[in-house]
């Protein structure tokens, strides 16, 4: 290397070293740091921002049933830990921006000498904005406005600051500032588009939709990005629809359609769908709409969006009252792959309502369940549908009971030959399907349609002839054993009986056996699943079981008749259920209320002859009943002293008077008398409360369990279940407290119930003593403890010693001479004794 070359290299190396300084304001230093920042940190940061935005656009799920946001950003409420980010791309962009500032900022004499620093802070603000840290982002944009007022990026920073203000809810401030920005004459077209779109979003957030229209048109006109143009025009169409300007909305959607492949296909398809929704069916040109939708359906490019097209076709046929064809397309929409959760919920809701209107309440209930699955619980519509679904619980429950009992009783009425023939046909179909699957190389794994272990669960008893068979034990149930063997064969193949059968070469060899060879080991002829006698043997035959099923069946039909009549006005269904009941030898308690309901139903249907027959029957055979009084004098319903409501109120007052035994006895009577009436669960819950007062928390839990299980759809049943889940565990965990820590005590005189009148006599004596001794802060009550004992209790004593002293005073004072045995207890422990009925435990340990 010659001297000149060495000297040149030395000069270059020296220039590089000295240009690295951020403290010297020289041409070389400024340009070195500007170029290094721009083409290293800032370039990579911008790439990360673009990658992050692309990721947002791909993952963001637009709800085309609501007005789209101008900018796609799914803001969540997650609180991140320090130094963590939502998206790694934006975290990297922020790192690059910070690196550019830390290593290349040239603050000399209070002025920034590196012209790229405004770009760095703009990148920093954008990274924080997209990472949903809006306050730090606002700081970065404000820093540019404060430190670099002459920057080329000043308008960008101003616009991004207002976008951030909109995100944090400062729409009014953003509108004021964006208007000032748009009044500037130094804006580029993209700045105008960005500012106008942000202004429109602020108005949309404030529900000023008419004010959002003009700035959004400006945004669509000035942007050169077709994706943004398509989105803006689509939003304009939505705004005009909300404002009731259908023709203008269609013009905006036409702009989206004209863009065609220049903007995302999703905008094109949804614009066509929205125009179809705006179609005037009174124009007489319905075929045009059908042709349009059919063309969309047949276009291969639209396959990802068939769910929306099928739905709109369903809407088209629904408007034309072609309900069956509409149902076909709604179901097609549901079967099409879709990420539109809201559309799924709408499809299910429409199908639910159609089935509801057709009185197919069981199917409607299933569709309502699916609707709620795909709907946000925060929506008002969710609560409305939830209530509608809850109201179907009773009808679904009783329809299922009716179907099950009808099926079982019908089978039990067949002869042995008829039963065998019926199930032979059933098992032959199962076997044919299994053979077909085996021929296709598949293992047959089926579940019998009437249940694997007990094919007649409603009977709640063992099958006929197997009273104590222990049918729940796995190896006593041939169907379960057969299925277990088939499942083992499917997973493991044919294995030898040996140790470590799951591992080693044996396992490998067995698992590699051809599936066809495995199938040869399956013998359907020996499988109980395909044997008719497996099912025939489980048909109940005992008279007690059949009578129980008949009782369930009759009660279900009665409840259905009342529900269809009173809740839904389905008089035909109600009459059908009650007529079946009366022909089916119902229990005596169901006959009269069923006839009275039929009397009202016939009147609503205009079946006057049948109504007159029912009327005469009730008046002749049940002349002393309240139903006869209702027929002869309908106004008596309002003043009937024997109505369920009046009787319940009387019984509740007796509950408040601590007549718990009478409450339980009367409640049982009224439950039988008013079977099927909505007030029955109230009597049951009142009885449970009275039981708690007499027998304690364990009996209370048992009584509540009965209410919750028997009336699960009622408010009382749900309340009972809530008490079991929340209150009962707390009550059971109560423990006695040390009396030394208490400040409220009671003096308690036990009185046996056989001592008639003694409790009230003792209460009078105690009250007389309190009055004469001027103990105005004390009071006396008679409290029920259990069936055998009451307590006469003096309340308000402050310490145990004073309580004992007061007892001694009453015993020794010659004016009272109350020598009856008593004990002292803190108020807290007295509460526990009354809840748990564990007085003996307390006395033994104190």
| Average pLDDT taken over every residue of the chain | 81
The residue assigned the tokens 């006698």 is 533
Find the mean pLDDT for residues 427-434.
Answer: 85
Name 572's bridge partners: none
pLDDT bin (cut points 50, 70, 90) of residue 462 is very low
> Does residue 812 belong to any structural domain of this protein?
yes
Name 780's bridge partners: 794
728 and 772 share one domain: no
76 and 120 share one domain: yes
pLDDT bin (cut points 50, 70, 90) of residue 477 is low
- Tell me the CATH number at 550: 1.25.40.10
> Does residue 63 belong to any structural domain of this protein?
yes
Is the per-residue pLDDT at 519 higher than 60?
A: no
**Host domain of residue 693:** 644-732
441 and 553 share one domain: no
> Does residue 669 belong to any structural domain of this protein?
yes
d(CA 668, CA 675): 11
pLDDT in tens, 98-156: 777 777 665 666 566 567 677 788 888 888 888 888 888 898 888 888 888 778 888 88
Identify which of 247, 308, 243, 244 has the alpha carbon closest to the alpha carbon of residue 272.
308
- Tell me the CATH number at 774: 3.30.70
CA 467 to chain CA centroid, nearest Å: 41
> Does residue 292 belong to any structural domain of this protein?
no
Name 751's bridge partners: 790
Burial class of 439 by CB neighbour count within 10 A (0 to 12, 13 to 18, 19+): exposed
626 and 709 share one domain: no
Which pLDDT value is given to residue 8? 63
649 and 720 share one domain: yes
> Does residue 786 belong to any structural domain of this protein?
yes
529 and 554 share one domain: no
822 and 749 share one domain: yes
Asked if 683 and 651 count as a contact pair (C-beta separation under 8 A), the reply is yes
- At 315, list the tokens: 């809407």
**Structural domain ending residue among the three candidates 732, 762, 785:** 732
**Structural domain ending residue among the three candidates 602, 631, 660:** 631
150 and 22 share one domain: yes
715 and 744 share one domain: no
pLDDT bin (cut points 50, 70, 90) of residue 733 is confident
> Does residue 506 belong to any structural domain of this protein?
no
652 and 527 share one domain: no
130 and 45 share one domain: yes
> Does residue 309 belong to any structural domain of this protein?
no
- Tell me the CATH number at 142: 1.25.40
pLDDT in tens, 321-332: 899 999 999 999
Q: Which residues neighbour 709 within 8 Å (Cβ) at sequence distance 6 or greater?
A: 717
**Based on the structure, what is the number of domains in the chain?**
6
Which pLDDT value is given to residue 454? 46
Is the per-residue pLDDT at 672 higher than 60?
A: yes
Asked if 263 and 256 count as a contact pair (C-beta separation under 8 A), the reply is yes
Is the per-residue pLDDT at 466 higher than 80?
A: no
Distances from the Cα of 596 to the Cα of 603, 611, 618, 629, 824, angstroms: 11, 10, 8, 11, 58
**pTM score, whole prediction:** 0.65
55 and 156 share one domain: yes
Question: What is the DSSP track for 205-243?
Answer: HTT-HHHHHHHHHHHHHH---HHHHHHHHHHHHHHHHHT
Identify which of 352, 343, 273, 346 has the alpha carbon closest to the alpha carbon of residue 313.
273
Is the per-residue pLDDT at 821 higher than 80?
A: yes
CA 557, 562, 567, 568 dihedral sign is positive
> Does residue 561 belong to any structural domain of this protein?
yes
**Which parts of 391-514 fold into alpha helices (H)?**
393-412, 416-439, 478-492, 504-511
3-state secondary structure of 520: helix
**Structural domain ending residue among the three candidates 118, 139, 168:** 168
């Amino acid at each position: 290397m010659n001297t000149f070359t060495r000297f040149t290299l030395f000069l270059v190396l020296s220039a590089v070293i000295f240009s690295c300084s951020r403290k010297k304001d020289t041409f070389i230093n400024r340009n070195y740091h500007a170029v290094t920042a721009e083409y290293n940190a800032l370039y990579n940061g911008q790439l990360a921002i673009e990658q992050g935005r692309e990721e947002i656009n791909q993952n963001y799920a637009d709800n085309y049933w609501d007005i789209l946001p101008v900018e796609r950003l799914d803001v969540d409420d997650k609180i991140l830990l320090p130094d963590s980010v939502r998206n790694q791309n934006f975290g990297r962009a922020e790192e690059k921006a910070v690196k550019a500032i830390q290593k290349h900022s040239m603050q000399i004499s209070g002025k920034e000498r590196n012209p790229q620093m405004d770009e760095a802070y703009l990148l920093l603000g954008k990274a924080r904005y997209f990472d949903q840290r809006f306050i730090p982002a606002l700081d970065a944009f404000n820093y540019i406005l404060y430190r670099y007022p002459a920057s080329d990026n000043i308008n960008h920073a101003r616009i991004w600051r207002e976008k951030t203000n909109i995100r944090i809810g400062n729409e009014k401030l953003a509108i004021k500032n964006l208007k000032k920005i748009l009044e500037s004459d130094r804006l580029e077209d993209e700045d105008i588009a960005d500012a106008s779109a942000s202004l429109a979003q602020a108005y949309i957030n404030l529900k000023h939709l008419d004010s959002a229209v003009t700035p959004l048109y400006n945004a669509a006109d000035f942007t050169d990005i077709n994706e943004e143009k398509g989105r803006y025009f689509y939003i304009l169409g939505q705004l005009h629809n909300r404002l009731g300007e259908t023709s203008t909305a269609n013009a905006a959607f036409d702009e989206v359609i004209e863009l065609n492949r220049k903007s995302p296909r999703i905008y094109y398809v949804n614009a066509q769908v929205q125009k179809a929704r705006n179609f005037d069916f009174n124009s007489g040109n319905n075929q045009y709409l059908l042709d349009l939708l059919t063309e969309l359906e047949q276009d291969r490019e639209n396959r990802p969006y068939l769910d929306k097209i099928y739905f709109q076709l369903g809407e088209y046929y629904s408007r034309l009252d072609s309900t069956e064809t509409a149902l076909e397309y709604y179901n097609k929409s549901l079967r099409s792959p879709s990420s539109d959760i809201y559309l799924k919920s709408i499809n299910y809701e429409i199908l639910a309502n159609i089935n509801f209107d057709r009185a197919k309440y069981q199917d409607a209930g299933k569709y309502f369940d699916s609707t709620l699955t795909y709907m946000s619980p925060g929506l008002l519509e969710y609560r409305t549908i939830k209530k509608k679904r809850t109201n179907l619980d009773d009808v679904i429950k009783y329809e299922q009971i009716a179907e099950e009992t009808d099926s079982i009783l019908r089978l039990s009425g067949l002869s042995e030959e008829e039963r065998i023939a019926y199930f032979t046909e059933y098992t032959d179909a199962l076997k044919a399907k299994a053979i077909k699957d085996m021929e296709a190389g598949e293992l047959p794994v089926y579940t019998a349609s009437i249940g694997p272990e007990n094919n007649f669960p409603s009977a709640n008893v063992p099958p006929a002839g197997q009273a104590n068979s222990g049918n729940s034990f796995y190896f006593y149930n041939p169907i379960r054993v057969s299925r277990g063997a088939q499942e083992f064969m499917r997973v493991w193949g044919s294995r030898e009986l040996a140790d470590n059968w799951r591992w080693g070469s044996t396992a490998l060899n067995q698992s590699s056996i051809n599936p066809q060879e495995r199938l040869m080991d399956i013998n359907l002829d020996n499988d109980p699943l395909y044997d008719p006698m497996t099912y025939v043997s489980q048909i109940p035959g005992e008279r007690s079981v059949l009578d129980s099923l008949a009782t369930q069946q009759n009660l279900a039909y009665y409840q259905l008749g009342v529900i269809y009549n009173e809740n839904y006005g389905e008089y035909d269904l109600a009459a059908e259920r009650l007529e079946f009941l009366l022909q089916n030898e119902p229990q005596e308690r169901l006959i009269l209320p069923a006839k009275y309901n039929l009397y009202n139903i016939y009147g609503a249907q205009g079946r006057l002859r049948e109504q007159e027959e029912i009327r005469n029957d009730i008046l002749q055979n049940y002349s002393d009943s309240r139903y006869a009084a209702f027929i002869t004098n309908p106004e008596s319903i309002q003043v009937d002293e024997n109505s369920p409501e009046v009787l319940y109120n009387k019984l509740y007052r007796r509950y408040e008077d601590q007549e718990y035994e009478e409450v339980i006895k009367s409640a049982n009577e009224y439950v039988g008398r008013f079977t099927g009436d909505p007030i029955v669960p109230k009597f049951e819950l009142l009885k449970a409360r009275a039981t708690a007062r007499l027998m304690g928390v364990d009996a209370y839990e048992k009584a509540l369990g009965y209410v919750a299980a028997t009336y699960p759809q009622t408010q009382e049943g749900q309340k009972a279940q809530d008490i079991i889940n929340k209150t009962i565990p707390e009550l059971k965990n109560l423990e006695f407290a040390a009396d030394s820590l208490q400040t409220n005590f009671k003096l308690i005189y036990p009185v046996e119930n056989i001592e008639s009148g003694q409790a009230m006599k003792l209460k009078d004596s105690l009250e007389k003593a309190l009055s004469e001794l001027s103990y105005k802060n004390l009071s006396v009550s008679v409290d029920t403890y259990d069936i055998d004992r009451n307590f006469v209790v003096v309340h308000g004593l402050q310490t145990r010693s004073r309580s004992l002293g007061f007892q001694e005073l009453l015993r020794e004072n010659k004016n009272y001479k109350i020598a009856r045995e008593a004990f002292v207890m803190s108020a807290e422990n007295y509460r526990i004794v009354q809840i748990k009925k564990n007085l003996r435990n307390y006395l033994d340990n104190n």
